[in-house]
Amino acid sequence: MGGDHGPEEVVNAAAQLSQDRDDLRTLLVGPGDAVSQLLDEQRYDPARLSVVHTEQWVRPDAPPRDQLDAQPDASILLAARLVAEGRADAAVTAGSAGAAILASAEHLGRVAGVRRACLAAVIPTERRHGPRQDPFALLLDVGATLDATARDLVTFAAMGSAYASAVSGNPNPRVALLSNGTESHKGPSEVVEAHRILSEIDALDFAGNIEGLDIPRGTVDVVVTSGFLGNVVLKMLEGLGEVVADLTADVRARKYLQGLGLLLLSSGVERVRRLLDWESYGGAPILGFTRPVIKAHGRSRHRAIANACKVAAKAARSDMVRTVERAMTDLPFDEDAL
Amino acid sequence: MGGDHGPEEVVNAAAQLSQDRDDLRTLLVGPGDAVSQLLDEQRYDPARLSVVHTEQWVRPDAPPRDQLDAQPDASILLAARLVAEGRADAAVTAGSAGAAILASAEHLGRVAGVRRACLAAVIPTERRHGPRQDPFALLLDVGATLDATARDLVTFAAMGSAYASAVSGNPNPRVALLSNGTESHKGPSEVVEAHRILSEIDALDFAGNIEGLDIPRGTVDVVVTSGFLGNVVLKMLEGLGEVVADLTADVRARKYLQGLGLLLLSSGVERVRRLLDWESYGGAPILGFTRPVIKAHGRSRHRAIANACKVAAKAARSDMVRTVERAMTDLPFDEDAL
C-alpha cells in the first residue's frame, strides 16, 4: 500500500510472477477486497499467489513510529510477522523504509553483533562488478543510521560484503570507506577508527578509503558510509540523472550518436539511462535482521516490484543471512561491547 | 609553488594581469631567481608586479602543520603576513587549503564569533543565480571543518550569504542546509539544531533543508554542510564530470546535437563542460578570517589563477569581510559561547 503508485503495481507484479516463476509463491499483504478486485482484472495462477488481509497500513508521508503503534496489523508488521513465523522466507516493500526497519526490529530481531540496521542501495557505475559483470555497486547505509559510529561502519562493511558475495555471487567483494581523502588518517574520527579496524580483518577485501569521484567510476564493489552522507549521495545521483532524463527516452538521439561514432557520449547517455532505470534493479536489502527484507524504490512499477521479489528469493535461497551471521563472527569486537 | 603545475602558471597569470588591469597590483611570493627567470620570458608591466622572495614553501602532498612549523618563511605564511601588515589586500593560493587556513589563522585571525574557518566551492547548477545570472551556486564547507557543529553550520550559512551578497552582488541569497529530507526534523542532531537557529534569523533568507537532488538543480544560492559531506559531494561532481569529459572537447559533436534539435542533450553537455571548466570560476573563498583569502583549484592554469586574483580584488573592494562581520553580529549566539 505504501508505494507511490498504490497497490495496483504490487498486485500486477505478483500476478505476473505467479505465471512466470514456478519456484516462487507470493503472499500479498493488504486489504482483501481491493486486492481481489485488482486480481480479477488479470491472469494469475492462484496456486502461487495468496492474499493476507489487513485494513491497516503505514502512510509514507508521516513518521512511521506512531503509525505502527496505532496499527498493530499494519501491512508491514503483518509481513514481518509472516516471515518471523516461517510462513514466508523474505519480505518485500515499496513503502516507508523507516517502517520496514521498525517492523523488522520488532518481529525478526537483529543478527548477533549488529547494533543498528542499514539500508543499501544499488548505484550504477562505469566499471562492472563481480562474475556477472553487474554494472552497479552497493552503497550503504543510505538512511537507516544517520550517525554511524566506527563500529556501525565496520558492521555495514561486513554485511555489505556478505550480501554481495551471497546475492551477486562475487566471492571477494572489494569494500571501501567513503571519505575526504584516500589516506588512512583522512575523515572524521569514526571513519579513521573504522579504517583501522577494517584493515585488520583478513576475511574482508578492504580497499581503504575512496573519495567522491570514485563513486561514479565504480572503483569498488561495496561503498560504506553513514546513512546521512549515503542518503545525500544517492539523491544527488538521482538528481543528476533527472537533469538529462529526457534524453534517455529519445531512441532516435541515441541512434544518431552511435551512427556518428560518438561512443563515449552514447555510453554516457546509456549510463544515465541505467541510473534512472530503477525498474531493472528492483530492490536493495535492509541488512542486519535475521531474515531477508528487500526495499523497492517508492516509485517502483510492477516490473521493479517483480524484480525486488526475485532479489528477495535469491537472498533467501543463497542463505544470505547466514553469510551475514558468519561475517559478523569475524569482526574483532569485544564481547562486552555487544 | 603549491599548485599542480608549479610556479609557471602563477607567474604567467600575474604577468597577464599586469598588462590587462591597471587597477591591480600583484605581489608574487616565491623563489626570486626562478620567478625572475620566468618573468624574463614574457611581457609584463613592472609597475604593477613585484616579487617577494622566499625559498620555503609547503608541499601539497604532506600534512601542512609540520611543514609550516619547520619553515617560518613558507610562501603561504609570508603571503598571509603581507596581508596582515596591509601591504596586500587579499591572498590567493593554488596550494594546500590546509596550509592556507593555518597560515591565515596565525597571521590574520578570525572574525569575532567565528570558531572555525570554512572553505567554499563554486558548483555549476541548472538554475542561474543572482543579478548576473551566474550559472553556479556556493557550496560550503568543502573540507576545512569535517565535524561541523550546529553553531559552525549557522556560522557558515551567515558567511556564505555575506560572501554571495558582497561578491556576486546578490542582495538576498537563498541559503539552505543539505540534509536527508526537506522536513525540519530530518538529519543528524547538529543539522536539526542549525535548522532551528537559522529559522529565527531574520537577516538571512533561509530556505530550510534541501536534498542531494537539489544540488545539480541549483534550488538555492548557498548550500551549507559539514566539510566532510561537502568534500565528498564536490569530488563526486568532479568525478561525474570526468566520466563524460571527452565529449566536451568535441565541438563537432555539440554542433550535431544542436543541429538535430537535441537541445536538452546539448545543454546537458554544456553543463558538464561548465562543470569541468574550473578555469572560468577561478577561485572560492576561505571564509572566517579578517582579510580575503582565495583558494584556486590545485590544477589551475594561468587563466584560472588570474580569475582567482580578480575574485580576490572584488572581495577586497566590496569589503566582503565587513559584510561577514556584520552578518556575524546578527547571529543569536550567547556571549558565553563566543
**Which amino acid, one-letter code, is at A86?**
G
Of A187, A211, A225, the CB nearest to B146: A187
Q: pTM value?
A: 0.86
Cell numbers given for B316:
577586497
Least confident span in A251-255, B45-49, B75-79? A251-255
Closest CA to B277 of B231, B245, B251: B245
Closest Cα in chain B, distance from residue A200 (Å): 24
Query: Which of B177, B193, B213 is the best residue to mutate to test the A interface, defined by the most A CB atoms within 10 Å of its own CB?
Result: B213
- pLDDT (tens digit per residue) in A150-204: 999 999 999 999 999 998 888 899 999 999 999 999 999 999 999 999 999 999 9
Q: Which residues of B touch A239 (CB under 8 A)?
A: 211-217
Report CB contact under 8 Å: A247, B264: yes
What is the mean predicted confidence (pLDDT) over A139-146? 94
What's chain A's average pLDDT?
A: 88
Residue B2 pLDDT more than 60? yes
For chain A, list the domains and their CATH numbers. 7-337 (3.40.718.10)
φ, ψ at A286 (rounded to 5°): -95, 115
Least confident span in A158-172, B193-207, B231-245? B231-245
Report CB contact under 8 Å: B216, A264: no
Residue A94 pLDDT more than 70? yes
Closest CA to B226 of B191, B256, B254, B261: B191
Report CB contact under 8 Å: B234, A212: yes
Percentage of chain A surpassing pLDDT 90?
A: 69
Query: Which of B244, B252, B254, B272 is the best residue to mutate to test the A interface, defined by the most A CB atoms within 10 Å of its own CB?
Result: B244
Residue B192's alpha-carbon distances to A118, B153, B187, B203, in angstroms, are 21, 11, 6, 20
Does the ipTM exceed 0.95?
A: no
Residue B246 pLDDT more than 80? no
- pLDDT (tens digit per residue) in B251-277: 555 555 555 555 445 555 555 555 555
Residues 6+ apart with CB under 8 A from B54: B29, B30, B31, B73, B74, B75, B78
Residue B331 C-alpha from the chain's centroid: 23
Of B228, B232, B253, the CB nearest to A265: B253
Of A143, A238, A271, the CB nearest to B180: A143
- pLDDT (tens digit per residue) in A234-252: 888 877 666 554 444 455 5
More confident residue, A278 or B43: B43
Q: Secondary structure of chain B: what % helix, strand, coil (to 5)?
A: 50, 15, 35
Closest-CA residue of chain B to A267: B244
What is the mean predicted confidence (pLDDT) over A301-310? 93
The predicted pLDDT at position B184 comes to 93
Q: Which residues of B touch A244 (CB under 8 A)?
A: 264-265, 268
Least confident span in A258-262, B119-123, B231-235? A258-262
Q: What is the DSSP string of B223-267?
A: EE--HHHHHHHHHHHHHHHHHTHHHHH-HHHHHHHHHTT-HHHHH
Three-class secondary structure of residue A49 per DSSP:
strand
Residue A217 pLDDT more than 90? no
Q: Which residues of B touch A262 (CB under 8 A)?
A: 247, 250, 253, 256
The predicted pLDDT at position A70 comes to 97
The predicted pLDDT at position B258 comes to 55
Q: How many CB pairs under 8 A join A and B?
A: 143
- pLDDT (tens digit per residue) in B128-176: 888 888 778 899 999 999 999 999 999 999 999 999 999 888 889 999 9
Burial of A311 per CB tally in 10 Å (0-12, 13-18, 19+): buried
Report CB contact under 8 Å: A243, B268: yes
What is the mean predicted confidence (pLDDT) over A217-243? 86
What is the mean predicted confidence (pLDDT) over B23-39? 96
